[in-house]
């Protein structure tokens, strides 16, 4: 018994024993019989902390000649009580207390769904929408559970058996007139969130809405299709309860063999597999609820290429020009004629060339034709579908022949151009240096062209290589080549014709360099 150690410090039972054994040193004469009841009473005090931790197995009472070290409430060792009549043996050290294992932190459940609202209410159902919670946890959401409860009751029932991930849900099979409380819970592996609930109950009743047709913009004008095309038109509308939809064509019921109508709660579909020109017209759509109605008109025009023009004639041919005339086609293809295309073809090449496009009149003039060619002409009509399949061809041809013309020069009255010589620019005095060639200039007019004679000191200059005389367009020039002192003097230019003569002179001075 002496070799056993004291129980671990975390158990409160030894602490209670320490409180009872602590007064022992105060009275040395305390009888041993009195100590036994105190030790026997110790288990009664140990019963208090037993709710938190199971008590340790009971130990036999320690002998009086030995004191076991016990921990105090603060965790310190108690001073051993000395036994009477015998020395206390050395106490054994207490066993180390085991360290408690740290508990794993539990994952928090997701937060509450956001923005819960009612999207639509009908006479036996309503639709909810909401947004995902801000916090979904590490594992993510498993889904949402929608719960409902009638007003005045506290019995909440889940609408869906399994969680779903959509943030929109329609609760069906409800009774008209009931008030329903609703809430949505986000569910994950770590638990369920705080429910998001509507503040007010939802009254299950049908909300009345006047009928209204929402005609698409492109259908507000004439809807044009070609012959053979499919017509597939969807026109949405609104109204509650579900409105009655009816179609008529110019006040008469539709031909169900050609036209198929399919209606839903929100739109109507108008369908023709292969449109014909007879399908053209104005269709009236009526949407009605309990006497209230809305109407819209659909104007359909089925078109095809027009027929060719009629009565094309070659009216006139003159010079390089041709005049054509024709009348509009009998069949315009159920569409307005936008114009006519006029083409020509010459006999040599046989190819057709476009002369005019979208001519808005029923007549035209073609110009700039080539002399010697023979031309044929044809005309196409054109509408929104394009050109007619065939053309109107003129019955005659245009031959552009050469015209014989004789040139007759214009008679101009004769004018007397005779004029005696007259100098318009006289000679001027000049000074030159010995050995440097020089020129003398003057200008003269007259008709017939006058004869020019050069004189030096009143002596006619004849064929002398020292002098070169020229005349060009009435400008007279005399070149004196390398003059010397003896070449100085007075030079005269004389002009002579049958009507008279004229002369001018100048002085030439030749200097000798020093």
**364-406, pLDDT tens digit by residue?**
999 988 888 999 999 999 999 999 999 999 988 999 887 766 7
Q: pLDDT tier at 100 (50, 70, 90 boundaries)?
A: low
C-alpha–C-alpha distance, residues 352 and 339, integer Å: 19
Beta-bridge partner residues of 468: 479
pLDDT at 416 over 60: yes
Contact by Cβ (8 Å): 334, 280: yes
Q: What is the DSSP letter of 71?
A: B
441: its two tokens = 């200039």
Distance CA 231, CA 338 (A): 25
Average pLDDT over residues 316-328: 91
Give the pLDDT confidence of 249-262 residue by residue, as tens digits.
Answer: 988 999 989 999 99
- The pLDDT mean for the chain works out to 81
Grouping H, G, I as helix, E, B as strand and the rest as coil, residue 62 is coil
Give mean pLDDT, residues 438-459.
93
Q: What is the pTM of this model?
A: 0.44
State residue 30's pLDDT score. 38
Does residue 69 register a pLDDT over 70? Answer: no
Q: What is the pLDDT of residues 482-497, one digit of tens each?
A: 999 899 999 999 999 9
Buried b (16+ CB within 10 A) or exposed e, 190-212: beebebbeeeebbebeeeeeebe
As a whole number of angstroms, the longest Cα–Cα distance in the chain is 194
Q: 178-233: per-residue pLDDT in tens?
A: 889 999 999 988 888 899 999 889 888 776 788 999 999 999 999 999 999 999 99
What pLDDT is recorded for position 377? 94
Per-residue pLDDT, averaged over 421-433, amounts to 94
pLDDT at position 104? 54
- Vertex 180 angle, CA 176 and 186, to 5°: 135
| Count of all residues that appear for the chain in the document | 514
Grade residue 46 by pLDDT with cuts at 50, 70 and 90: very low
Q: Which of 427, 439, 444 is nearest to 492 (CA)?
A: 427
Nearest CA among 456, 460, 457 for reference residue 496:
460
Q: How far apart are the first and last CA of the chain?
A: 166
Closest among 194, 195, 189, 184 to 140, alpha carbons compared: 189
Q: Give the residue among 486, 497, 442, 487 at the shortest CA–CA distance from 467.
A: 487
How many CB atoms neighbour CB 80 within 10 A? 17
- In a 10 Å sphere around its CB, with 0-12 CB exposed, 13-18 middle and 19+ buried, how is residue 356 labelled? middle
């Amino acid at each position: 018994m002496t070799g056993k150690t004291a129980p671990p410090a975390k158990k409160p039972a030894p602490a209670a024993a320490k409180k009872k054994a602590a007064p022992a040193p105060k009275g040395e004469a305390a009888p041993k019989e009195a100590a036994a009841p105190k030790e026997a009473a110790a288990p009664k005090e140990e019963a208090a902390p037993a709710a938190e931790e199971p008590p340790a197995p009971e130990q036999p009472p320690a002998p009086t000649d030995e004191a076991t070290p016990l921990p105090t409430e603060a965790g310190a060792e108690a001073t051993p009580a000395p036994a009477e009549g015998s020395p206390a043996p050395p106490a054994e050290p207490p066993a180390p207390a085991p360290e408690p294992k740290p508990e794993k932190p539990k994952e928090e459940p997701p937060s509450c769904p956001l923005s819960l609202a009612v999207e639509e209410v009908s006479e036996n159902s309503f639709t909810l929408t909401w947004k995902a919670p801000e916090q979904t946890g590490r594992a993510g959401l498993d889904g949402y559970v929608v719960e409902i409860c009638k007003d005045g009751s506290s019995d909440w029932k889940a609408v869906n058996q399994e969680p779903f991930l959509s943030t929109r849900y329609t609760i069906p099979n409800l009774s008209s007139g009931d008030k329903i409380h609703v809430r949505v819970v986000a569910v994950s592996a770590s638990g369920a969130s705080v429910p998001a609930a509507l503040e007010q109950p939802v009254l299950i009743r049908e909300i009345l809405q006047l009928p209204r047709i929402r005609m698409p913009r492109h259908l507000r004008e004439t809807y044009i299709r070609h012959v053979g095309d499919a017509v597939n038109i969807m026109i949405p509308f609104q109204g509650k309860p579900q409105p009655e939809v009816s179609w008529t064509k110019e006040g008469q019921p539709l031909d169900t063999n050609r036209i198929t109508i399919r209606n839903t709660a929100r739109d109507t579909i108008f369908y023709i597999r292969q449109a014909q020109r007879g399908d053209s017209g104005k269709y009236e759509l009526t949407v009605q609820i309990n006497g209230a109605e809305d109407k819209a008109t659909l104007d359909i025009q089925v078109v095809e290429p027009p027929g060719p023009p009629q009565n094309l004639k070659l009216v006139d041919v003159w010079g390089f020009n041709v005049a054509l005339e024709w009348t509009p086609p009998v069949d315009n293809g159920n569409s307005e004629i936008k114009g006519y295309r006029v083409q020509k073809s010459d006999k040599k090449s046989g190819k057709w060339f476009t002369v005019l496009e979208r001519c808005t009149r029923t007549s035209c003039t073609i110009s700039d034709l080539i002399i010697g060619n023979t031309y044929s002409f044809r005309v196409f009509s054109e509408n929104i579908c394009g050109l007619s399949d065939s053309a109107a061809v003129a019955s005659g041809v245009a031959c552009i022949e050469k015209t014989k013309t004789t040139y007759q020069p214009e008679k101009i009255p004769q004018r007397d151009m005779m004029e005696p010589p007259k100098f318009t620019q006289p000679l001027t005095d000049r000074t030159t240096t010995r050995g440097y060639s020089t020129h003398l200039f003057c200008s003269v007019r007259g008709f017939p062209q006058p004869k020019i004679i050069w004189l030096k000191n009143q002596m006619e200059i004849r064929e002398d290589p020292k002098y070169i005389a020229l005349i060009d367009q009435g400008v007279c020039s005399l070149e004196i080549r390398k003059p010397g002192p003896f070449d100085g003097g007075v030079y005269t230019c004389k002009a002579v014709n049958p009507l008279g003569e004229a002369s001018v002179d100048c002085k030439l001075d030749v200097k000798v360099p020093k």
